[in-house]
Amino acid sequence: MHPVDFVNKWTGVTLTERSASQQHFLDLCDVLDAPKPAELDKAGHEYTFEKGAAKSTGGKGWADVWYRGHFGWEYKGPHKDLDKAYDQLLRYKDDLENPPLLVVSDLDRIIIRTNFTGTVLEKHEITLATFADPDNQRKLRNLFDNPDAFKPDISIEKVTEEAAQRFGQIAQGLQARGENPHTVAHFLVQMLFCLFAEDIGLLPKRVFSRLLDFGRQNPKQFRDQTQLLLETMSTGGFVAYETIPHFNGGLFREVHALELTPEEVGVLDAASDLDWSQVEPAIFGTLFERSLDPGQRSQLGAHYTGRADILRVVEPVVMQPLRRRWDEVKGELDALVARRDAATTTQTRRNREADIRKVLRDFTAELEAVTILDPACGSGNFLYVALNQLLTLEKEALTYGATGGGLPMGYPTVRPKQVTGMEINEYAQELAQVVIWIGYLQWMIGNGFGWTEPVLEDLQTIRLRDALLDVAPGPEPTPVAPGPVRLLRIFRG
């Protein structure tokens, strides 16, 4: 089939997803001279329509097309919300073996998003109007022949390092003008969060970027307009005809916007070109702390502890005992599912389903009761990674319930308040709360669960205090000089 024939055939078609999706995909294969599922894989183990996966509405869900090592593909009917289709793919991408490309489509548009580990996300949209363009034909062929051609050149670590460097320039200028270091840190952490919130979709599109554009032209008004935005983020409301969600949390309880020079607003504006939704919290906190703290700025190029190194501690100390517990629970669930499937009466089946729900609820309640303490938490990197792993394990349990148990896909109950930290450095303590929240929101949105208002909670669990005490007799324990030991402990609630 010629690309023009494909465009002519599918222009104006209003058939439902069920009626049209497989024929649309088969026609696409004809245009691209690509293999069709039944031709390449007669058993459906590598490449198939309707690959079983967990679905948010419960019961059995399906990825409309799945090609191992290439893509998961979700169709929707004409003019349906393809962002919701993408969220659906995100929820069950683990069951699809985390394909490098996630594709959503109606009969007019094909949207390809990258899903490569350690790289920034990129999005490619192809419409019927641009379908026949040679560059788009090449992209579509690469879906089948060379998915690695979509792999972004920019790593998440590179984006994160550049982001921290830019904020270091602004911090240095503000502190040189005599601004209080703590006020500078708090304000720049708020700026950081605004950039992240805009790029991940928590703030209306370009509301902060437009403020930066305005500030470059009107630097004397920038401070007042920034103050208004930050105060509105604390409570929710309207700014420049845009609805601002209720963010809440300790981050916006105290708002004191600082006056920036035109050059500093320009640095922020240039920083907004980065994709802040992709920053890596596991290293960002350390880099940002160094950029804010004059005493550590000389270490900006020094080594940081990356996610892989952090996992060497988190896995054996936090996750292995919980995974062993999940294996026990899963064995119990497998037996209940088998008894449910063998039931000869409706009531017996219902009883077993109630048992399955209870066992799953009890296990997720165990995860919700876990508290993790890092008594020298720095800027929160260890706690962020541990929280991320807890959420991933809970999602595995929820997915089991949706696939094997026939239950609706539940909503994660693990929350940032379960991680507790102590830190004597006020820059680090300020950052730790934001790093944990950024990591949590990245995980929730990146796994298709979205967000609710208020967006943030006040993390009272990250405390500015010394964990090492002199326990000699006296009315109060006395802090002693901190040592080099970092502890990560798990307590079962």
Closest-CA residue to 74 (of 85, 84, 83):
85
- How far from chain centre, in Å, is Cα 416? 14
Cα(293)–Cα(304) distance, integer angstroms? 16
Ranges of H-type helices in 46-95? 82-91
What crossing angle do the helices spanning 262-271 and 207-217 adopt, rounded to 10°?
A: 150
Residue bearing tokens 């983020």: 233
Could you report the per-residue pLDDT of 430-448, keeping only the tens digit for each? Answer: 788 888 999 999 999 988 8
Q: What local confidence, expressed as pLDDT, does residue 59 receive?
A: 44
Closest-CA residue to 128 (of 89, 79, 87):
79
Cα(59)–Cα(49) distance, integer angstroms? 18
> What is the residue-level pLDDT of the chain in tens, covering all 493 positions?
899 999 999 999 888 888 899 999 999 999 999 999 999 988 888 999 988 744 433 444 568 999 999 999 999 988 888 988 898 889 888 888 899 999 999 999 999 999 998 788 899 999 999 999 989 999 999 999 999 999 988 777 777 778 777 888 888 888 889 988 888 888 988 998 999 999 999 998 889 999 999 998 888 899 999 999 999 999 999 998 899 999 987 888 889 999 999 889 988 888 888 888 888 887 777 777 766 666 655 554 545 677 888 899 899 989 999 999 999 999 999 999 999 989 899 999 889 989 999 999 999 999 999 999 998 888 888 999 999 999 999 999 998 888 777 777 788 999 999 999 998 877 788 788 888 999 999 999 988 888 888 898 877 888 888 776 555 555 555 554 443 333 444 444 4
Between CA 262 and CA 270, with CA 267 as vertex, the angle to 5 degrees is 120
Q: Can you give the C-alpha Rg of the chain in angstroms? A: 25
Number of C-beta neighbours around residue 220 at 10 A? 9
Q: Which two tokens stand for residue 120?
A: 């920034």
Contacts of 190 (CB under 8 A, 6+ apart): 230, 251, 252, 255
Exposure pattern of 66-83 as b/e (b: 16+ CB <10 Å)? bbeebbbbbbbeeeeebe
Query: In this structure, are strands 237-239 and 123-127 parallel, antiparallel, or unpaired?
Result: unpaired
**Per DSSP, which regions of 299-418 are E strands?**
370-374
Q: What local confidence, expressed as pLDDT, does residue 316 receive?
A: 92
Query: In this structure, are strands 109-114 and 101-105 parallel, antiparallel, or unpaired?
Result: antiparallel
